[in-house]
Amino acid sequence: MKAKIHVYLKPGVLDPQGVAVSVALQNMGFPEVKSARQGKLIELDLHGVSGEQAKARADEMCKRLLANPVIESYSIEIE
C-alpha cells in the first residue's frame, strides 16, 4: 500500500519560497505566473495494513510529525 501525503501552507500564511519561485519564473520570461505556493509531497510504503488502516495511520503520522497543524493543511491519497 502506498500513501501520498500532500502538505501545504494554509491560506494567509506567508510563503517566502513560493514568492521566490514566482519572481524567478517571471524574471526568466514567464510573465503569466502571477503567484506560486510551495508545498511538499511525502510518499510512504505501508505494509500489512488495509486501505482504511493505511489512511488512518497516515493521518496519525501527519498529526504527530509530518504536518504542523497551526500553519499547514494536508491531504492523503492511498494507492
Number of domains in the chain: 1
CATH number at residue 18: 3.30.1280.10
CA 78 from centroid of its chain's CA atoms: 15
Q: What is the DSSP secondary structure assignment for residue 32, as one 8-state letter?
A: T
Please report the pLDDT score of residue 12 as a whole number: 94
Which tens digits make up the pLDDT trace of 63-77? 999 999 999 999 999
Please report the pLDDT score of residue 71 as a whole number: 97
Closest CA to 65 of 47, 35, 40, 32: 40
> Which domain, by its residues, includes 59?
2-78
Which tens digits make up the pLDDT trace of 3-28? 999 999 999 999 999 999 999 999 99
Sequence-distant (6+) residues with CB within 8 A of 56 are none
Q: Which residue has the cell 524567478?
A: 24
Please report the pLDDT score of residue 24 as a whole number: 98
CA distance 56 to 60: 6
Please report the pLDDT score of residue 27 as a whole number: 98
How much is the average pLDDT of 15-42?
97
Q: What is the DSSP secondary structure assignment for residue 12, as one 8-state letter?
A: T
